[in-house]
Amino acid sequence: MSRKMGRAWASNSLATTDVVRLCRKCNAKILADAPEGLCTACLFETGLDVLAGQADRVRDASESAAAPNASATKTLGELADYALLEEIGRGGQGVVYRAQQKSLNRIVALKVIRPGQKTTKAHLQRFRIEAEAAASLDNPNIVPIYDVGEDDGSYYFSMKLVEGGQLQDVLKRESIPVRQAAELIAKLARTVHYAHERGILHRDIKPGNILLDAKGEPHLTDFGLARLVETESNVTRTLETLGTPSYMAPEQALGNSSQLTSTTDVYGLGAVLYHLLTGHPPFAGGTTYDTIRLLLETEPRQPRLWNPKTDRDLATICLKCLEKDPQRRYSSALALAEDLERWLRHEPIRARRAGMFGRGRKWVRRNPTLALLILSLAALAAAVSSNVWKSEFVPRTAVTGIAVLPIQMTTHRRTRPPI
C-alpha cells in the first residue's frame, strides 16, 4: 500500500513540473512558478510602469506644494493690463513692481502711485508730467518708458526691467576703480545732456537711480523729479523741496525751483563721482537738516584726502562740479563729459585747480569756527600791539638836533700896502 502511494506521489509531482502555463498579459509560455503569472519581458515592463507612476506622484506632490507660493504671488493683485508679481523697490514717489504685461506677455518694471491721505492733485499731476516727459526720451542709457496710464485711481507707468543691480548696492559691496568711475560718469553725463537738449532735467541723480546691466553699462532711471523746462507749470514751483540731500545742489536745497538749470544735474553727476572716488557722498549728516546745513555752509573735502589713488586732475574735475556757485561749474553736462574723456585720454583738462585765494576761501567755508577764532585772535593781537605802541611803556628814541647858528658874513676890504 505504501509502495503504491509513493509511486502516485512521484507521478503527481512530475505532472506538476511538466505543466505549461501561459503569460496572462501576452499569452507566452511560462513556467508554473513564474511570479505574478507573467513572462520575463512583461514582468520587466510592469516594473517600469511602477517606477513611472511613482515619479508622477512625486511631481504632483511638488506641484501641489508649490501651489501656495503661486497663489501668494497672485495676491499682489492686478492693475490694468499688468499682473503684479513682486515688489522690487519703494520710494517717496511710489512703489515699483516686477510685473507681467498680459497683452504682450512680457516682464516689465511697473511704477505705481496710489493716492493716499497725503497725496494731492499736485502730486498726481507731477507724476503724469514726469512719466510723459520720460516716455519721450529714447537713449540706450535711459530706461525706456512703455506705457503711462491710470486705473481705478492708481497712476502708473511701465518701463523696461533692467536685470541688474543699483549702483548703490554695488558700492556697498565693493569699490569701483578710479578709471572705471570716470568712464561711467562720462557716459551718464552724455546721457543727461541728451535729456537737457530736450528740455528735461532729472533733478535726482544719485546711485539709487543708476542701474548697471550684466555688462556693467549704466542706465539712468526714475525721472520722478524731472520737469519740462520749457513748459514749467505752477505745480513744480509750489511743491516741497525735492531730491536727495546728499546729492542735491545748493540752489535745490534752498527750494529755488526757478533757479534750477542744467548745472543742477551737473552737480548731481559730480556728487556721484565723488562717491565713486571716496566711498561716500560729499555731504552726509545725521539728519536731513544736518546734511543740508553741511551742504550750504561747508565745502567738500579734497577727494585725495579720502583716497590717495585719486588723480589730481580727476579730483579737480569732480570739485568743479560741486561748486556752490552754479556759474563756476561746468556750463553743461556735455562739457563735463568732454573733460572726463580728455582725462581718460591723458590729455590736459579744461578745469583748473583753485588758486591760493580760492583755496583759502574754501578752507574758511570748510572750517568756519576755526577761521573765526583765528580772525578774532588776529584782531586782538593787532589791538594789543597798537595800544602797547601808544603807551609810555615803550621808550621813545630821544630826538637829537643840530643847532644852526646864523652865519655872519664879514666883508674885509683888502687895502693896498702903502707905497
Strand partners, 107: 100
Active site residue 313: no
Catalytic residue (choose from 81, 138, 204, 213): 204
**What is the spatial distance between Cα 78 and Cα 95, in angstroms, rounded to a whole number?**
14
Of 366, 262, 279, 359, nearest in space to 316 by CA: 359
Query: Cβ neighbours of residue 141 under 8 Å, at least 6 residues apart?
Result: 187, 188, 190, 191, 217, 218, 219, 220
* Cα three-residue angle 262-179-201, rounded to 5 degrees: 15
Contact 204, 225 (CB under 8 A): yes
Alpha carbon 320 to its chain centroid, in Å, reads: 21
Render the burial of 101-129: b for 16+ CB within 10 Å, e for the rest. Answer: beeeeeebbbbbbeeeeeeeeebbebbeb
Q: Please, which residues have CB within 8 angstroms of residue 386's CB and are 6 or more apart in sequence? A: none
- Residue 208 C-alpha cell reads as 539709487
- Which residues form the catalytic set? 204
